Amino acid sequence: TQLLEQSPQFLSIQEGENLTVYCNSSSVFSSLQWYRQEPGEGPVLLVTVVTGGEVKKLKRLTFQFGDARKDSSLHITAAQPGDTGLYLCAGAMDSSYKLIFGSGTRLLVRP
Amino acid sequence: DAGVIQSPRHEVTEMGQEVTLRCKPISGHNSLFWYRQTMMRGLELLIYFNNNVPIDDSGMPEDRFSAKMPNASFSTLKIQPSEPRDSAVYFCASRRRDGSRSAGYTFGSGTRLTVV
């Protein structure tokens, strides 16, 4: 059983479309991070959210941490082929810095 | 900054053989993590070290797996004997343990292990 469930698992969209990826849990996290992973490489950190209700923007990407710190979402506006990859959410439950990763959302943006 | 360096990038070995994966964390990072990634199970934490001391190895699958960190700049993950079900991509990641909740992990490029 995954502690962090991501949805959808797979997403194939046309360039220019918007999309939202969800990361849900029944557990409370002290912080939550989003990573993007490309084939043959390790995950790369996109953002960290630490406060319930926090919203962070990174160009066309908007990240939100739920008020109860149990869930998060990633919204991409006007997706581009360069956004293609595996998106992973990861939560830390305490000060141990041990990250638990979600199941991942595999995104394909078609030109 | 060369990032987290893992070797080898690819390893193909026969069942029963010993396999050693290596990792050099980023200088100044005092937490090191070993993860395994498969399509079925995603990214699983195997073990992590703080200041070269193993803190949590509850994710290590069984006694065939062992990890060491003899100094701040080097860690190994050993599988002996290896089995086909160990085939996966193994990642090493490091982080500066400074009390900040915002600092993320820096991952290496991984070692793709195939046991035949």
For the segment A22-36, the average pLDDT, to the nearest whole number, is 93
Q: Is A106 on the interface with B (CB under 8 A)?
A: no
pLDDT of residue B72: 93
pLDDT of residue B37: 96
The more confident residue out of B84 and A2 is B84
Shortest Cα–Cα distance, B51 to chain A (Å): 13
pLDDT tens-digit readout, B91-113: 999 998 666 666 789 999 999 99
pLDDT of residue B14: 97
Mean pLDDT score of chain B, rounded to an integer? 93
Question: Which of B55, B91, B99 lies nearest to residue A42, judging by beta carbons?
Answer: B91
Query: B23 vs A65, B72, B99, CA distance in Å?
Result: 33, 11, 24
Percent of chain A with pLDDT over 90: 84
Shortest Cα–Cα distance, B90 to chain A (Å): 10
pLDDT tens-digit readout, B21-70: 999 999 999 899 999 999 999 999 999 999 999 999 999 988 999 999 99
B107 to A104: CB separation less than 8 angstroms, yes or no: no
Shortest Cα–Cα distance, B21 to chain A (Å): 15
Q: Is A57 on the interface with B (CB under 8 A)?
A: no
pLDDT tens-digit readout, A57-90: 999 999 999 999 999 999 999 999 999 999 999 9
Q: Is B56 on the interface with A (CB under 8 A)?
A: yes
Residue A49 to residue A64: CA distance in whole angstroms: 8
Q: Is B88 on the interface with A (CB under 8 A)?
A: no
Residue of chain A minimizing CA distance to B108: A42
pLDDT of residue A96: 67
Q: Is A103 on the interface with B (CB under 8 A)?
A: yes
Mutate to test the interface with A, among B37, B43, B49, B55 (most CBs of A within 10 A): B43
For residue B2, what pLDDT band results from cuts at 50, 70 and 90?
A: confident
A74: Cβ–Cβ under 8 A, 6 or more apart, which residues?
A20, A21, A23, A34, A61, A62, A63, A87, A89
Whether the ω angle into residue B84 lies within 30 degrees of 0, i.e. cis, is: no
Q: Which residue has the tokens 């979402």?
A: A73
pLDDT tens-digit readout, B57-70: 999 988 999 999 99
Q: Is B107 on the interface with A (CB under 8 A)?
A: yes
Closest CA to B102 of A41, A70, A56: A56
pLDDT of residue A95: 65
- Range in A96-105, B78-87, B105-114 with the lowest mean pLDDT: A96-105
Shortest Cα–Cα distance, A92 to chain B (Å): 9
Shortest Cα–Cα distance, A70 to chain B (Å): 16
A97 to B43: CB separation less than 8 angstroms, yes or no: no
